[in-house]
Amino acid sequence: MTETATHTPAPPRRPLRQLLAASVGNAVEWYDWYAYTFLATHIARQVFPAGASNSMVPLLSTFAVFAVGFFMRPVGGLLMGAIADRRGRRTALTATILLMGGSSLLVALTPTYMSVGVLSPAVLVTARLLQGLSVGGEFAASTTFLVESAGPGRRGLFSSFQYVSTSIGQLAASGLAALLVTALPEDAMNTWGWRAPFLLGAVLSLAGFWIRRGAEETLTTDPAQAAPRPGLFDALRHHPRASLLIGGITAGGTLAYYTWTSYLPTYAELETGMAKEDALLAGTLSLAFFTLLQPLGGLLSDRFGRKPSLLFFGLGFAVLAVPLLHALDGSFLTLLLVQCAGMVLLTGFTSISAAVNAEVFPARVRAAGIGFPYSLTVALFGGTAPYIGTLLQDLDVPGLFAWYVAALCLCSSAVYLRLPESARKPLDR
């Protein structure tokens, strides 16, 4: 799966510090990203007024909702991945968190449509473009950094903290948004309350930057075998099979992840008429459960291998996605059980996604090699999951969505079957 390593120095001497640097920064990144999602309705009232007469406003609004969220992530994965491969993982990680902090501050300071007109949505779209760039680059750099920081037999465990920190960021954004909505009057929430989480995010980004500045670089090269720095498209040009492999590994996983962690509460509302507050509470509890499962999934993969974990996820969803989604009956307990059951299966993928991806590419092009195909696959399958589910609901065939999830997970399972086991192989450095 990777080129034979001729120079394999020891992993960093302070692995726990490395783990903290990657995890804290990643949590801050995803806190900033998800804060927009949870506060979107309040932002829209100030930036995209329903009665605006300027025809550019709905166009910009559509662009902000659909394109900004996922279009820039593959670009960020490619650009920041190339920086990580050329200048070092730590350089890319500090760049992504500063970019996220700056874009979060820009969201917080976005003027209202009433004060500056169409410039208001233009500023917000720019901020979201930068956030998308940052998030795409974050996965490429932090995935590589985490796995390269792990000691022998611990790559799966370290890999699991990618989704531990992502989920913590999501829960923090959700919790703060809920607290503000509960504590502030509607007028205050619509005028200044929605800005507070983004100001906090900018401050937290500075703290994450400080932590990451003290991390140890994991990109190591042998001076006797120094090679020219990789070009922007070297990973795609020289490792096309590995790039396609990343897509096959990720497709089913990203669809199942976005379905179970983001779309399932909405699906339950549309399909069964479940109350929104009950659906969101079930989603929050299951996400906390999911966060606790990740290290266990990583440890099990270090002990028993990557393939059993991946097949547990892929074949599990291929067989159970349809009965699980069809089991929803409008009750809180049923939704919670369905979500938690899916989270157990999903852990087989999420807990080791970073390790599996890193083990596919050689160190020289690892970050860019992971970043672009992974983010593109997420955009194509993960980002479109809510849209496809809602479209099938509108076409009065909602049951097809479960079969779509099962079919794509089955396709990824075929890829997993052909993967050579890599858990005990030394990582190319």
Residue with tokens 């906390």: 288
On whether the CB atoms of residues 81 and 370 are closer than 8 A, the answer is yes
* Confidence at residue 17, expressed as pLDDT on a 0 to 100 scale: 81
* Confidence at residue 409, expressed as pLDDT on a 0 to 100 scale: 96
On whether the CB atoms of residues 318 and 347 are closer than 8 A, the answer is no
Residue with tokens 């970019």: 99
* Confidence at residue 10, expressed as pLDDT on a 0 to 100 scale: 53
* Confidence at residue 7, expressed as pLDDT on a 0 to 100 scale: 44
* Confidence at residue 1, expressed as pLDDT on a 0 to 100 scale: 45
Using 70 as the pLDDT threshold, list the residues of the chain that sit under it. 1-13, 50-69, 221-232, 428-429
Q: Tell me, what amino acid is at 107?
A: V
CA–CA separation, 215 and 22 (whole Å): 9
Q: Which CATH architecture has domain 13-216?
A: Up-down Bundle (1.20)
* Confidence at residue 34, expressed as pLDDT on a 0 to 100 scale: 83
pLDDT tens digits along 260-312? 988 888 788 878 888 877 888 888 899 999 999 999 999 999 999 999 999 99
- pTM beyond 0.75: yes
- Token reading at 334: 């049923």
Q: Where in the chain is the domain with CATH 1.20.1250.20?
A: 13-216, 234-423
CATH class of segment(s) 234-423? mainly alpha
CA–CA separation, 317 and 72 (whole Å): 29
